[in-house]
Amino acid sequence: MAPSSDQASFRTALSCAQHVLILSGAGLSAASGIATYRNADNSLWNNFDPVKMATPEAFKEDPIAMWKFYHRRRAEYLLAKPNTAHYALATLAHAPTLARIAPCTARPTHVTQNIDALALRVLESLPPSKEGDEDASPLAEAIIEMHGDIFVTRCTSCRHVQRSYAPELAAALTAFENAKSDGADPQLPITLDQLPKCGGDTWAGSNRYGHCGGLLRPEVVWFGEVPPRSGEIARKMSGCDMLLVVGTSSIVSDFSEFCVPRHILIMDTQVRPAADYAAQVKKNGGTVAVFNLGRSKGDEETDFLFLGPCEETLPEVLQVRKDIAQLWPSV
What is the rounded distance in angstroms from the CA atom of residue 243 to the CA atom of residue 183?
Answer: 47
Distance of alpha carbon 63 from its chain centroid, rounded? 23
Backbone phi, psi, residue 243, to 5°: -115, 125
Other Cβ atoms less than 10 A from the Cβ of 107: the count is: 21
What type of residue is 84? T
What is the helix (H) or strand (E) element at residue 14, kind and residue range? helix 7-16
Burial of 44 (C-beta count, 10 Å sphere; 0-12/13-18/19+): middle
Query: Would you say 303 and 13 are in contact if contact means Cβ atoms under 8 Å apart?
Result: yes
For residue 263, indicate whether it is catalytic: no
Instruction: Tell me how far CA of residue 267 lies from CA of 24, 249, 262, in angstroms.
Output: 21, 20, 10
Q: CA 104, CA 98: separation in Å to the nearest integer?
A: 9
Give the span between the Cα atoms of 245 and 302, in whole angstroms. 10
Q: Which one of 19, 94, 110, 147 is the catalytic residue?
A: 147
So which residues are the catalytic ones?
147
